[in-house]
Structure 1
């Protein structure tokens, strides 16, 4: 596609993949006439885990209420177009090419990272679409993220904060929470998911400094599972809702954040029911049902998940424990920037064996040997495989297979299975 050619050129404009500052973004936005000031009401979402799922639930609720919704997320899984959802669906190739070329021309070859210029392209596309809301997911951190250019969003939300991207955000949960809390704005309500004490304290302190009112899980609202239902309650009352159709206890918490956001925005119970029951989000405990890998798996269940840090490993282990009992084999590929042992430790108690693969086409992939060694370090039997297909062939009959460890690996799988 022509857009892929432009995207490859945009990757060469800065020597670093990540270089957190807003100076280059502000410069380009100014050159384009400040499209960030012409957006529909923005719901800005930060956090370590659950941003995408929470965004998908809020979108499902808004759309069920008849609202036209745009959404921005990253990274994409199979196609770049997935990052930019306009009110009528994913951005077309023609429209994507147009905004990319417009941004490239306005930038004039100046240094800018790939994420920065593509985020500006997304904001340009959103500024020209007729929508009622824009769901804007932070890429990394929050304070210096390229999405943090909205002066007065309608709402902000912070999903659970844990350790990830320490080389950019700090090596403590408190430091990372401080970066996430950078999206809070004066007079704009922040919906805060349940946090560890260190993160919550930092978020509350930042909110007080900027004058942002907060509604906090465990204090102002809460959500939990009860007898196969999800119970949500806040100061305005209680909702008896279905369990989220996204699998795992952590999705109950994500759904709670989504429902709390919808309540702050004034939406009714019907929108909240739709949020938890109609949301779809690929590569989050997704059962694969068709494609060559499914055919190769034959009578073995084949699942896919893109979680990649220690908190995601714990959530995934819990979700797996809720499935009908069946021997579990992991096919795992991870990036060398992740805490592979922290991710695998909670999974070691669930799985019989890990088949380690490298992620094709990723310069920062861990080798299969490195991933296998990390698995063995945490007490999980492991072996290397040439690729995912070979790993599937090495699993026993009548088992459950989970392909996991990276959104980049998940994207390769979805490209294969689509």
Structure 2
């Protein structure tokens, strides 16, 4: 175990792992640390139910293609805690080193003096310490949960606040209506600071967001009204009030990535940074984001699958994510038909039937698996029942490796090799990347 992981493990024994939404504790802690959140480069703050991580990746790619150094905070991590903190550098940032992260964690823990606080709040404070003490041109700051009371929501004047698609999720914390959830996400908006509203599948959510931005007198741009992206002749066309930009399709697959890329371009512009067409084009070609429609081409788990299989990994875990992932697989099926199989694990705060319904009529079978890294894993037999209730034949198995071996043993030489989606949880995605020997770098 690394030094940083050991230090964080000690904190997790002392403090709650879950969420207790409030800003009082982290503001108290940050004051003891010298208020590092007030000593940051311009901040791009991102909330939303889905698409936050991909949009963060696009924004980083755009800024780095423009020659800028970018700090990035995302959560959760997939394999190692270090993934939550990318420190900016000319030519491209890197995950924080173990020594630097361990020292920052220990310093924050000492400042907290064992007082009640959640682990996420401590780790958010670590981000502010790291980002204030290492030079960079921009900070990309992803919300952990919600917005209004999220531990990242202490930056008083972000360069731009970005709200990505909102759906029903985390209802125990955010409310059980789309309007209530949108209101929580809108809490990252700050008076007179620019706001970019990405694609919103719900008109009710959009109305809440626009109303809040107008009440705060924020300059606001809205996907579908002030900017848009669409595919034309195998290219991506981005359009806003500055005109059209003809671009290659993003490296991240799926039609939903066009609207994520568009929000990222608009956010960088609204934050006051110049973007050349050349920089935007480069960003579309180099952007990467692990466990979001990630193609696995080699590794220990890949070797267990039927020869010639096409294996994809995606951490999407709610009904809205299921719809966009299923749409991406429908596009793949149109181009190169293959039988689709799902290997799925989920945690008990999610809606498994709603997730599976997106794949009804597409997936031939679901293999349901437990998630070893989460105490909240849904029992694989119960998860199989949810898949069958959604209309997909399902079989509970012990592991991803077990599922891949079953597919291999059942395959014949005259069959088209399968297309396999492993997903349903970022925890499962992290376990898969670790076991496969292909962690994020």
> Same fold by TM-score, threshold 0.5 exceeded?
yes
Unpaired segments of 5 or more residues in structure 2?
A: 412-416
Tell me, in whole angstroms, the C-alpha distance in 1 between the residues paired with 2:220 and 2:148.
17
Match 2:361 to one of 349, 359, 383: 349
State the match for 1:28 in structure 2.
29
Task: Trace 1:37-56 onto structure 2 (pairs within 5 A).
Answer: 37-56=38-57
How big is the shift at 1:86? 0.2
State yes or no: 1:133 paired with 2:138. yes
Task: Trace 1:5-404 onto structure 2 (pairs within 5 A).
Answer: 5-15=6-16, 17-88=18-89, 89-195=94-200, 196-264=202-270, 265=272, 266-297=274-305, 298-323=307-332, 324-395=336-407, 396-397=410-411, 398-404=417-423
| TM-score of the superposed pair, with normalisation by structure 1 | 0.98
Alpha carbons 1:13, 1:113 under 8 Å: kept: no
Write out the 4+ residue segments of structure 1 that deviate beyond 6 Å after TM superposition: none
How big is the shift at 1:271? 2.3
SS across alignment from 1:12: helix
Alpha carbons 1:259, 1:275 under 8 Å: kept: no
Alpha carbons 1:177, 1:199 under 8 Å: kept: yes
How big is the shift at 1:363? 0.6
How big is the shift at 1:246? 0.4
Tell me, in whole angstroms, the C-alpha distance in 2 between the residues paired with 1:15 and 1:83.
19
| TM-score of the superposed pair, with normalisation by structure 2 | 0.93
Tell me, in whole angstroms, the C-alpha distance in 2 between the residues paired with 1:17 and 1:96.
22
Alpha carbons 1:56, 1:280 under 8 Å: kept: yes
Alpha carbons 1:177, 1:202 under 8 Å: kept: yes
SS across alignment from 1:144: coil
Deviations 1:304-353 (A, max 9, x none): 11000011000010000111210011000000110111111011221000
How many residues align? The count is 418
Tell me, in whole angstroms, the C-alpha distance in 1 between the residues paired with 2:175 and 2:14.
26
Tell me, in whole angstroms, the C-alpha distance in 2 between the residues paired with 1:165 and 1:277.
33
How big is the shift at 1:276? 2.1
Match 2:426 to one of 395, 407, 412: 407
Q: How much is the aligned-residue C-alpha RMSD, in angstroms?
A: 1.1
Deviations 1:209-268 (A, max 9, x none): 222111001111111111211111111111111111101011011011011112323322
Alpha carbons 1:142, 1:180 under 8 Å: kept: yes
Tell me, in whole angstroms, the C-alpha distance in 2 between the residues paired with 1:151 and 1:271.
29
